[in-house]
Structure formats: C-alpha cells, structure tokens
Chain A
Amino acid sequence: MIFAASLAAAVVIVVLSATALALWYERKLAARMQTRIGPQFVGPIGLFQPVADLLKLVQKEEIVPMGADRVLFALAPPLTVIFALAAAAFVPLWPGVAVVRSDVGVLLVIGFGGLAMVPVWMAGWASFNKYALLGAMRAVAQSISYGVPLVLAAMVPVILAGTMDLDGITQFQATHHWFGLWPIIPGLPAFILFLLAMLAESNRIPFDIPEAESELVAGVTTEYTGMQFGFVYLAEYVHTVVGAAIGSVMFLGGWDGPFAPGLHWLLLKTLCLFTFIYWIRWTLVRLRADQLMTLCWKWLVPAGLGLVFLSAAWNQTGWSR
C-alpha cells in the first residue's frame, strides 16, 4: 500500500516533470524546424523556460467572464489534468511494476482518455463564449468519433497477446515480438491507426480543430487566464506524453529492449513517438471538421474493423505461439 502510494506520487512527479521537459523539447524542436533558435536565456540552453512560463501563469489574474457558470468553469481545468494523469497510472514501468496493475488496463486507459472530453465540454459550456462553445462542440464530436478507431486499434494487441493487462501485453511482446513490427499486416497498420486516433484524442495537428486558433481564437481555452489556462495547457501535454507512452507499451514493447529491460527503454520509445507527433504538428496544416469526420467514419473505422478481424485470423493460425 505504502509502496503503491509512493510509486503513484513518484509517477505524478515524473510525468509532470517529463511534461515540463517535453514543453522545452517541443519548443526547441519547432524552433529548429523553423530556422529559429528557440528558448535559450532561462537556464542552460533555455531548459527552465517551462518554469518561467509556469511562474508567469501563476502570477496572472484569473478572470471569470460575466455570465459564466462559475462552478463548472473553475472545476474544468483541474479535472483535465486529473484525467490525463490518471491514465499514466496504468503504464507498466518495468517488468511487473505499474502504479495500478489491472487485468483490464487497456480498457481503463482508453476510458480515462475518453473522459478527458468531459471537462473540455464543461469548460466550453461554462465559459459563456461562442468560440469556446464551438470548440467544445467540435471536441466532443471528435472525441466520440475517434474513440472508435482508437478502441479498434487497441483491440489488435489485446487479441494478439490474449490479455487486456498492459503489463501482460508487454510481457508477451518481450517473449515473442513487438506488435508494431510483427505480424506486419494487423500490427503496423494498427500502430499507425492508433497514432492517428491518439493525435485526434489529444487534439494535435492535423486534428486540433477544437482549439484551431486561426478560426476559433483559442477554442475552449478562450476565456481561461492564468493558471486555469495553464492547467488545460498542461493537460494537453500530459495527454500527449501519456498517449505516446501507451502507444510504445502496446506496440513497441514498452520496457522491453536489448541488454537491460527497464524504464529507460520505455522513456526512449516514448520520446521517439513524442518527437514524431511534434514533427507532424509543426509540418501539416489542419483538417476541416467535416473532413475529420469523413476520415474517421469512412476510412479509419472500417480499416480498424478489418484489422481486428485480421488479428483474430492471425491468432487462429497459431504462428506466434
């Protein structure tokens, strides 16, 4: 019990500091892509820039717009962080160890990911702002739609490994093969599908229409100031970091790796996925809401169904045993 609690505290601290580091990393990465230098004055090579940003946000006045639903408005930002962090509890850190080890880990992770839509809707509704409302409307539509291909893509490793336990899936991959690499046909497309759906769930370009700042000013975060905005902003990064971690657990073998399996492999794979996500983000333009739905329901969902069928067929052959 004490071990689990201290581990939980450690994970929260690790995830939050990883997120702060990810903020710095993304800014540096984006700057390099854009022939800029990026943050460089706060701390060595600008490492403390996220801290400076945080301090700035904390100092700012928190404004509640007239006509806003004060309770929901105040409640939404912390909830986004809580739901985003909750999913991190199920990530197997090293063999046999996760903060919460559950037999239905995959289900819970996806469930918490989907729950993150609720505070976004709360924020959009309570803000009493049309841009926020439009943003929240888009966010709900997008989250509900992309939840389907996300579940379908997650079903592939579940079927292949025969368990919904995230650690069990990693164990299976450690003893057999990484699902992102083998079997190529349900595995690799499922990995890509998972990445796409995860991009949409965490509102990253090209799927960032809920906060499309060139159209909706700032979407659901339009009326938020100070640390309340900071929470929503933080939650997005936590969402992306945890999503990348889940992706590497389910498709890239998690803590598995040559020489010494352990946390470092998980972090390395997460970093690679994170880099890939931000590479996409700083390259592409965003889709339109209707194109997003077309992509989801006409292409990704049928593809996901096909992949689930193929992975079941693969299991029947018994080649991976």
Chain B
Amino acid sequence: MEVTTPVRTLPYRKLELYEPEGDMLTLQLGPQHPSTHGVLRIKLHLDGEKIIKAVPYPGYLHRGVEKLCEQLTYVQMIPIVDKDDYIAPMHNEQALVMAFEKLLKIEVPRRGQWLRSLLSELQRVASHIFWLGTMSLDLGGALGGGSTNFIYCLRERELILDLFEELTGSRFHYNTHCIGGNRHDIPAGWAAKVHDAVNLIRARLPEYEAMSCNHRLFIERMRGVGVLTGALALELGITGPNLRASGVDHDLRRDAPYDAYREIPVNVQTAKEGDCLARTHVRLAEMRESLRLIDLLIDGMPTGPINSSRPAKQANQIKIPSGQAYASLESPRGELGTFVVAGNGEANTSPYRLKIRPPSLHALAALPYLLVGHNVSDAVAILGSLDPIMGEVDR
C-alpha cells in the first residue's frame, strides 16, 4: 500500500469548540475498571456519551524491567522478561535472547530454530484465542454472553498451556529459551499431543466464529467502529494484526524471516477496513494460519541438537564485552524488539542499557485518534480490539 502524507490533524482541536468546561463530563476510565486489560487510565471528555477527546495514561504497571536488566546478568534476565507480555511469554524470551545471540554471533542449530518457531506459533494461537475471549467479555459483559465465549476460549488455551507444561515444566513463565538455543527438547509422544490439540482447536474455531464474528450483534457492535487508516498506523509505528487489518501487508515472519520462517513461507493475513471487525477477522485468520504452520513445523522437525552449546548453568557464565544489537520478531501483537548495548563494568555480565520495543505501546498511541466521535461503549470495544497488554506497555 502506498504511504501518503502523514495524518497531522489532531482530534484535540475539536475541543476548542466547547468553551465552558461545564459542558463536558470528564470520565476517568480506569485505572480500576473491568475492561482496561490491566491497569490503564483513559481520560475521556464526554458530551453526553459521545467522546470529544481521549487521552490514555499508561504507566500504572511499570516495574522497571529495563533498569532491572542492567543489574542482572544475561542469564538471569530471561525469566524476568517473561512477565512483560504476560499473554505471550514465549516471544518475550525469544526476542531477548535473539539480541544477545546477534551480539555473540551465535547461530542456533536448525532443530533449535524449528523448535523456537513451533513454540512461537503455539503461543500465538494461545494469545489470539485469549484475545477473542477478552474481546467478547468487553462486548458482552462478565454476566452475559461474553463470559460464555470467554470460558470456551480459555478452555482451548488450556490445551496449549498443557503442552507447554509438559515441555518446559511451567505453564506460563517458561524460561525455556537460552542463549544459543533452547533448554528443553521435545519429550516422547509430545508431537502426537500437539496434533490432537491443533485438530481440536481447528474443529472448534467455527463455534467461536458463530459466537463472535459471524454473529449479528457482534458485527453490529464492531463494524465501522474505530477505523484505523494505514497511514496513521504507519506513522504511529503500529505493527502486527492491527496494522495488517488496516490494509498494510507487513509481517516480520515473511519480510525479515528468522528461524524456521526462512524455510516455511507464511501466508500473511490482511484486511482492508481497519475497523474492529477487520482486526477480529485478521486475528482469526492468523490463528488458522498458525495452526497450519504448527502442523508443518512438528512434522518437519529436523533431528540434531537444539542448542549450540550446553545451556548456561551459572549466572555469570555469559559475557558480552561490547557492541550493540537490535533484534525483533513478530509477536502476536506486532514487532517485539530488543535493543541491547553491552558492556557494563568489569565483569561484562550485564548490559549497559537494554530497551524493549513493545508493540502494544504503539497500538495505545492510536487511542486518541480512534476514540473521538464514538461513545463509551465503543471505547471499550476499540481498546479491546487493539489488544494491548499493560505488562508489556509499562514494562
């Protein structure tokens, strides 16, 4: 798609039309609110129920992960960044170790690469399915049809978490990626279980679609709501399904391939409309694509070692003298990158500076543009459809 001139019209301008402050209601949506996907505060200026201006205030979940990483050694960091994007921890770990490997010029063995891609795709399905659940919850409420869909979606996510538990010993914060490869190899009989889970999820996807993007009420709530244009998305640095739903064909798995994606082509899913419904369609199509990739990856899994050397056992074992590197991958929410400047002190076991590029933060930047003109109900739908994870936004 052709990139036109960047959008410069700020929605705030319209605020000038409303002179006396008394005309408007200022509503603080959050930080304690059931639908802010963590702790986000959005300051809404309302005229009746119509939003005149919206300002998101992230930062309530800031845990200083990047600063903490300057104190920790390269080995100790991996389980810490697991907690950034707490819906897709696999991608966090991998984005981190990819940057270190780039600095150390370590090549992961082929089986390790395929294993990483397999875990990444499984996590992507789990993340998207969880998103569909929370999206329904935002639309239908915790005491209604939304929660029914939510629980169905969680049931399927559970299948994938069980697979991860069998592989890594942990259901969520895996600590399975290590510099140079992976820690845990596939146990016996695991491949068959992956096939079973994939087939089950694939068979149940039509059920979710019947309750979500094929359902009349759901479509009425989502169509034409929160239209994000491709130009605005590019200007704000939005990546991932949100960008692809706005008609921009961009996916790091295809455009800057890493791991097994160099060998397996990915069909990138896009939509043109850029509204909430398009984002739903893109995520559901991506889920199908991921299920296809999982089958390919598990069937074509090469033999050999999964690690270039033995995984580090001691905290100060990995030393990176100097240099800087940026590595990024396609997480379920977009381009998740790690920028690392190595060389801190004498020991060289920690970085001088580490920066994580979270895709959700950029998605949140679209809120002031998308919310204006809609009403409070739509605000919740738009926020949900952007799929922000506050742990990743605030780090």
CB neighbours (8 Å) of A215 from chain B are 35, 376-377, 379-380
Interface string of B48-87 (1 = CB under 8 A from A): 0100000000000000000000000000000000000000
The one of A30, A36, A284, A289 in contact with B377, judged by C-beta atoms closer than 8 angstroms, is A289
A-B contact count (CB 8 A): 99
Contact partner of A205 (CB less than 8 A), chosen from B27, B33, B144, B215, is B144
Contact with A along B205-237 (1 / 0, CB 8 A): 000000100010110110000000000000000
Interface residues of A in 122-147 (CB under 8 A from B): 130-131, 134, 137-138
Known A-B contacts A34-B147, A35-B155, A283-B148; A212 and B217 likewise in contact (beta carbons under 8 Å): no
Which residues of B139-181 are within 8 A (CB) of A?
Answer: 139-148, 151-152, 155
| Residues of chain A lying within 8 A (CB to CB) of residue B380 | 214-215
A285 and B143 in contact, given A134-B49, A214-B34 (Cβ under 8 angstroms): no
CA A73 to CA B136, docked complex, whole Å: 33
- Which residue of A281, A288, A290 is within 8 Å of B144 (Cβ)? A281
Q: Mark A271-309, 1 if CB is under 8 A from B, else 0.
A: 000000000011111111111000000000000000000
A256 at the binding interface (Cβ < 8 Å) = no
Q: What residues of chain B lie closer than 8 Å to A130, measured between beta carbons?
A: 25, 27
Using a CB-CB cutoff of 8 Å, which residues 240-260 of chain A contact chain B?
none
A45 touches B (CB below 8 Å): no
* Interface membership of chain B positions 102-142, coded 1 if the CB is closer than 8 angstroms to chain A and 0 otherwise: 00000000000000000000000000000000001111111
Take A130-B25, A212-B141 as given contacts and tell me if A35 and B34 are in contact as well, using a CB distance cutoff of 8 Å. Answer: no
**How far is the CB of A219 from the nearest CB of chain B, in Å?**
11
Interchain CB contact under 8 A, B220 and A291: yes
Question: CB of A53 within 8 A of chain B?
Answer: no
B49 — which chain A residues lie within 8 A by C-beta? Answer: 134, 137-138, 289
A209 within 8 A of B: yes
Whether A201 sits at the interface, judged by CB under 8 Å, is no
User: How distant is B119 from chain A, measured CB to nearest CB, in Å?
Assistant: 27
* Most chain A beta-carbon neighbours within 10 Å: one of B33, B145, B379, B380: B145
CB distance from A27 to the nearest CB of B (A): 11
4 closest Cβ contacts across the A-B interface? A285-B140, A205-B144, A285-B139, A284-B145
Contacts A214-B138, A286-B140 known; 8 new A-B pairs at CB < 8 A: A205-B141, A214-B34, A215-B377, A215-B380, A283-B211, A285-B144, A286-B217, A288-B221
Q: Footprint of B on A, CB under 8 Å?
A: 30, 33-36, 130-131, 134, 137-138, 205-206, 208-209, 212-217, 281-291
